[in-house]
Amino acid sequence: MRYGEAYPLESTWKAMEHCVELGLTKHIGLSNFNSKQILHIIKNGKIRPAVLQCESHPYMTQEKLIKFCKDEGITFTAYSPLGSRDRPWAKSDDPSLFDDSYLKDIAKAKNTSIANILIRYQVQRGVTVLPKSTHKDRIKSNLEVWHFELSDEEMRHVGSLNRNWRACLPTVRLADGSIVSRDDKHSFWPFKEEF
Ligand SMILES: NC(=O)c1ccc[n+]([C@@H]2O[C@H](COP(=O)([O-])OP(=O)(O)OC[C@H]3O[C@@H](n4cnc5c(N)ncnc54)[C@H](OP(=O)(O)O)[C@@H]3O)[C@@H](O)[C@H]2O)c1
């Protein structure tokens, strides 16, 4: 099978269900699926997905997808919650959460880091969150989100920063030098749906 051809999602899910039956894993989940694709798995599978892992941060809040997951009893996990700062395909004019004036102000007012505001935002709205760091001190400090709270107004304000901007849209450079999306021609490309 060549890249870009569509191997049926339900066949892959069936193989994952088999792993549960064999006792190789307790739970199975999805990543980068939209709501229609998730419903397809629920309808055609025996085991419901336990979790959906998707990009989320204040510039990509995913309100609708998170509500959909809550209604379906699926745990939502936010990946790239800090905006995936070290992504290789970053462009110089991409927005940066770490330069956001509101996030800077609120971090200063609470005597914490912008990273911790971004992590606390997800925790406080009931989303599991997956920040990454290659530095031991940051891995430790990224856990320090339990000594402060965001008020309802602050939560609303952070959520209002949404601009449906995805950090995680990998690109490739073609032989002619042009840079194009790596995956958007794939028949299962999930991001053409609203959520
Ligand atoms: N399922 C998927 O399709 C998918 C896609 C993307 C990512 N993920 C997963 O999600 C996790 C996180 O995503 P990500 O790595 O893209 O993005 P991220 O966690 O949003 O950002 C990681 C970047 O933030 C920096 N950072 C971490 N803590 C910081 C702090 N306290 N202050 C300032 N900068 C800080 C890191 O630098 P240092 O390392 O220098 O600290 C790194 O450059 C990873 O485990 C990844 O595997 C999953």
Pocket of ligand 1 (CB under 6 A): 31-32, 53, 79-86, 113, 115, 130-135, 138, 141-142, 168
The rounded Å distance from CA 70 to ligand 1 centre is: 24
Does the pLDDT at position 100 exceed 70? yes
Pairing mode of beta strands 30-31, 51-55: parallel
As a whole-number percent, the residues of the chain with pLDDT over 90 amount to 94
Give the integer Cα–Cα distance in Å for 179 and 64: 31
The answer on pLDDT for 17 being more than 60 is: yes
- Predicted local distance difference test score (pLDDT) of residue 120: 98
pLDDT at 135 over 80: yes
The mean per-residue pLDDT over the stretch 18-24 comes to 98
Is the pLDDT score of 3 beyond 60? no
Rounding to the nearest 10 degrees, give the CA dihedral for residues 32, 47, 12, 195.
-20
Ligand 1 atom closest to Cα of residue 131: 19
Average pLDDT, the chain: 96
Mean pLDDT of 9-17: 95
Residue 80 has pLDDT above 80, yes or no: yes
CA distances from 157 to 61, 76, 102, 121, 184 (A): 12, 21, 9, 11, 32
Percent of residues, the chain, with pLDDT higher than 70: 97
- The closest-lying atom of ligand 1 relative to the alpha carbon of residue 130 is 11
Residues with Cβ within 8 Å of 190's Cβ and at least 6 positions away in sequence, in order, are: 32, 33, 34, 37
Q: Using the atom order of ligand 1, give the atom closest to the CA of residue 132.
A: 19
Is 70 exceeded by the pLDDT of residue 125?
A: yes
Helix axes 152-159, 101-109, angle to 10 degrees: 160
Mean pLDDT of 149-159: 98
pLDDT on residue 7 = 84
pLDDT of residue 1: 61
| Minimal-distance CA residue to ligand 1 atom 44 | 132
Ligand 1 pocket: which of 57, 76, 80, 129 to mutate (most atoms within 8 A of CB): 80
Q: How far is the CA of 81 from the centre of ligand 1 (A)?
A: 7
pLDDT at 4 (0 to 100): 54
Nearest to 110 by CA among 57, 155, 56, 163: 155
CA–centroid distance, 90 to ligand 1, in Å, is: 13
Q: Domains of the chain, with CATH numbers?
A: 9-156 (3.20.20.100)
- Which amino acid is present at 26? K
